[in-house]
Structure 1
Amino acid sequence: MDRTLTAVIGRLRRDERGGVLVVLGVALPALLMAAGVVIDYGTLSEQRTAFQAVADGSALAAAREFRLANATPTGVQLAAEKFASTQLKTLDKTGTIAATVDLRKMTVTVEVTNVARTNIMHMFGSDNVTVSARATARVLGTSSICVIGLETKKKETIHLEMNAKLEALECAVYSNSSQPHGLAAKQNSQVRARFICSAGGVYKDKFDSFQPSPTLDCPILTDPLASRPPPSIGGCSANALSITKSTILSPGTYCGGIRISKGAVVTLNPGVYVFKDGPLDVSGGATLKGANVGLYFNGKGSVLRFEADTKIDLTAPQSGVLAGILFYEDRTSPANQIHRILSNDAKVLLGTLYLPQGELNIGANKPVAAESAYTIVVARRFTLSAGPTMVLNAKYSSTNIPVPEGVGPGSTAAHLAK
């Protein structure tokens, strides 16, 4: 009886091993197929990653060709194709390169494609797989950048109303706002520039509010001066200084700010002036002038106010920590403080007006900065109201005041589109 049971169990075990072999025989093609897919997927994924790097790099490189005065669509296209071809050879890859140029949108699109033979999947009917990558780079025109509105989330980062005019005929105006009305010209206002770009949309109430028509959905620009260190803050040279008679001031830290009025003529000696927790307020027919001066605003209430009946004549430092920067607002100052230029005699504001936390409001009745060799605005918001004209010249070679890196000449930048 025991020997019979043992024999039966032995036969069952032999049958079980046979069953396993049958199952393995049926499953083997599927297992091989899965393994082949994994291996081929890794190879194809690596190739696509390489193609994407080639497409990105060649699109950006070709877009930068728009900076050249003699750039043509054909020349830009050839530059893209040559760059991509060189990169493929460097990576020991083969592929078909197609580049297209949209001169109106200032974009270059590069696509790299290859039909790859699979290593294992071809045994199961998938002989060839198309691998491709595509990139589009956009450039902000062929001009220098002279206005950047840094605010990204709120509307009207750059806003004009009531017959206001912004003249930037030799440079570009750029709004970072992604909102539909991120760039707005209302009530017969107008922006004229070499190039106009908005990360979002625009609002206008007449057909020629913007000349030329803005390019929309531009990539957001990072603050080009974000790495520029602020000047140091020393001990208080004065506290809540009020000036009513003509005088000459020296660089220093003015705690509580300075108020100039009653027709006083104040001359600033060259250097850096720190306004700590108080304004630079010029009113009552007073005059403020200074060559090679940098004005640094730090803290709550530290803003500039130039009233309508004042005369302002200021140029930025030629060297030092604020070289090329006329106004510098500290990045830790309260957000959305308003700096107002209402002066009807502010013909010279030579340099960069850097107000990363605040709003620069122009409300004069006469042209502002019109006699400056150059003026650049980088502000959280930039607004013009009640009919002013702000003139942003770009005659960089006519002055010895340097232009900060990231704005002005050579600031035209190529970005991969979203």
Structure 2
Amino acid sequence: MIRSVRILMRRFQRDERGTVAIIMGVLLVPLIGAIGIGFEVSNWYRVTRAMQNAADAAVVAAATNGGATYSAEAAAVAAQYGFVNGVSNVTITSSNSAPCPGGGNNCYSVSISGYVPLLLSEIVGFAGDAKINGLAAKRLAASSVATAGGMQSSFCLLALGPPGIRTNGAPKANMQCNVMSNTGATCNGHNLGAPIGAAHTTNNGCGVNQYSNVPAAVDPYAALASNIPPNPCGSYPQEPSKKGAPLPNNNLWSGTQSLSGNVFVCGDLQLTGDVSVNAPAGAVLVIENGQLDTNGYTFKTTNGSGLTIIFSGTNSGSYTHAPTGGGTIDVAAPTSGTWSGIAIYQDPNLTSGVNISAAGNSPTWDITGLVYLPNASVTFSGAVNKAGYGQSCFVLVVNDITINGTGMILPNGQCIPAGLLNMPTTTLPGRGILVA
């Protein structure tokens, strides 16, 4: 019998049947856990994707609605995607004062959240982040942000009259702010790089986002003409021809000029050297029936100074009412007072001698504030930077403008601290635009 037992033990020792079953029994728990986690994560992604689609559609609907019922509009659209506020632990929240990615707090937002029960992931010890009816659950959420349809937009370039905005071979133009024409706009081969291009009639290619048939922008600056100081001049010396008499000394500037209040130059003002304007309380330089000829020099405001240059006078004679010459105009507008935010102002009563053929290039424009040329046909060729001692704010109002080559307006987001509180605006039509 002992011998038989030994034989059976040897046979049992050599028998490998059932080994796989034992190994599978040991591995079964982690295997089921891995499958469970994979299934759970796939389900979470599916539900979150559905939530995101619902939030995107709901926020665009709310922004397009733009009225007092925007929240109900958002909830109704989310319900079409199967997410009903207060049902099955779903929560939908909406706002019309959400932060916008580009600044401000006038965007619309919709957030959708809910819970899904855990199915297999508890096997590996995941307990979720909530309890629903005593059962472990996972919270999921999605949110979206949109700008309102029909919202007001502001513009750094406004053309008041025909033919509006045009390009002339401008493959490098980079207008880093919105542009608007109260008539038409035609940009052949290049959209100017402006985020928004709008026209009261037809916009043909201007702007990354293009709008036609929008309401005309109101000119908020024409009324300032009533604040131009009365003309005290009796004569208007002009720059001489080859045989003419030279300008009087009062019309020739160089060095440091300390200005305050209203300062008049009768006739042309010509630089004979670099000029630094010291006007800590702000000043208004009125050039009557004359040009500002930088003559290859720099005309600049010092740190803490503010200056408004006004071109005024009459339409008779052959006067030029504009900046001319090479060099640089480096001017920051006053930040308070009647002329707050106004750097250059052509009297809207002037209709002759107001055109500018090389704006931003001859002279170079480094300007903080508004340049108002309401009856001027302007050819814009250079790049406008902020003043050396100014904020990033530039607004150009013209009758019509042709943009050449490298016409550029650099970032333009500090007009309020620069003193320019009112910019040209209009209301853009259309549905809400998803922005985040």
- The TM-score with structure 2 as length reference comes to 0.54
TM superposition shift of 1:334: 1.5
What residue in structure 2 maps to residue 377 of structure 1?
Answer: 396
Residues 162 and 275 from structure 1, CA distance in 2 versus in 1: closer, same or farther, beyond 3 angstroms?
A: same
Residues 258 and 356 from structure 1, CA distance in 2 versus in 1: closer, same or farther, beyond 3 angstroms?
A: same
What residue in structure 2 maps to residue 195 of structure 1?
Answer: 196
Matched, 1:160 2:170: no
Matched, 1:144 2:144: no
Spell out, residue by residue over 1:290-340, the C-alpha distance to the aligned partner (whole angstroms, 9 max, x if none): 2300011113334223434x0221111112221001111112111572134
Q: How many residues are matched?
A: 268
Structure 1: gaps of 5 or more residues? 1-70, 86-136, 205-209
TM superposition shift of 1:184: 2.3
Spell out, residue by residue over 1:313-368, the C-alpha distance to the aligned partner (whole angstroms, 9 max, x if none): 1111112221001111112111572134353773621001112222333233xx22
Residues 166 and 233 from structure 1, CA distance in 2 versus in 1: closer, same or farther, beyond 3 angstroms?
A: farther
Residues 388 and 305 from structure 1, CA distance in 2 versus in 1: closer, same or farther, beyond 3 angstroms?
A: farther
What residue in structure 1 maps to residue 232 of structure 2?
Answer: 235
C-alpha distance in 1, partners of 2:178/2:217?
13
What residue in structure 1 maps to residue 220 of structure 2?
Answer: 224
What residue in structure 2 maps to residue 354 of structure 1?
Answer: 372
Q: Is the 8 A contact 1:326 1:352 kept in 2?
A: yes
In structure 2, give the amino acid aligned to 1:388.
Answer: T
Residues 234 and 227 from structure 1, CA distance in 2 versus in 1: closer, same or farther, beyond 3 angstroms?
A: closer
1:281 to 293, 302, 326: 293
Matched, 1:267 2:276: yes
Q: Is the 8 A contact 1:238 1:254 kept in 2?
A: no
TM superposition shift of 1:81: 6.2
What pairs with 1:250-329 in structure 2 (closer than 5 Å)?
Answer: 250=259, 251-261=262-272, 264-270=273-279, 271-283=283-295, 285-290=296-301, 291-299=305-313, 300=315, 301-308=319-326, 310-329=327-346
C-alpha distance in 2, partners of 1:406/1:72?
28
Spell out, residue by residue over 1:169-214, the C-alpha distance to the aligned partner (whole angstroms, 9 max, x if none): 3x3211111xxxx21224x55411221111122445xxxxx44142
What pairs with 1:114-153 in structure 2 (closer than 5 Å)?
Answer: 139=150, 143-151=153-161
TM superposition shift of 1:289: 0.6
Q: Is the 8 A contact 2:271 2:297 kept in 1?
A: yes
Which one has more relative contact order, counting CA pairs under 8 Å at least 6 apart? Answer: 2
Percent same amino acid among aligned pairs? Answer: 21
TM superposition shift of 1:273: 0.6
C-alpha distance in 2, partners of 1:233/1:361?
31
Q: Is the 8 A contact 1:231 1:321 kept in 2?
A: no
What pairs with 1:370-409 in structure 2 (closer than 5 Å)?
Answer: 373-385=392-404, 387-396=405-414, 400-407=417-424
What residue in structure 2 maps to residue 368 of structure 1?
Answer: 384
C-alpha distance in 1, partners of 2:154/2:291?
31
In structure 2, give the amino acid aligned to 1:292.
Answer: G
- The TM-score with structure 1 as length reference comes to 0.56
CA RMSD of aligned residues (A): 3.3
Specify the SS of the correspondent of 1:191: coil
Residues 76 and 138 from structure 1, CA distance in 2 versus in 1: closer, same or farther, beyond 3 angstroms?
A: closer
Matched, 1:174 2:184: no
What residue in structure 1 maps to residue 62 of structure 2?
Answer: 75
Specify the SS of the correspondent of 1:80: coil
C-alpha distance in 2, partners of 1:279/1:345?
12
Structure 2: gaps of 5 or more residues? 1-57, 73-147, 238-249, 431-436
Q: Is the 8 A contact 1:312 1:348 kept in 2?
A: yes
In structure 1, give the amino acid aligned to 2:230.
Answer: I
What pairs with 1:16-55 in structure 2 (closer than 5 Å)?
Answer: none
Q: Which runs of 4+ in 1 moved over 4 A?
A: none
C-alpha distance in 2, partners of 1:292/1:274?
14
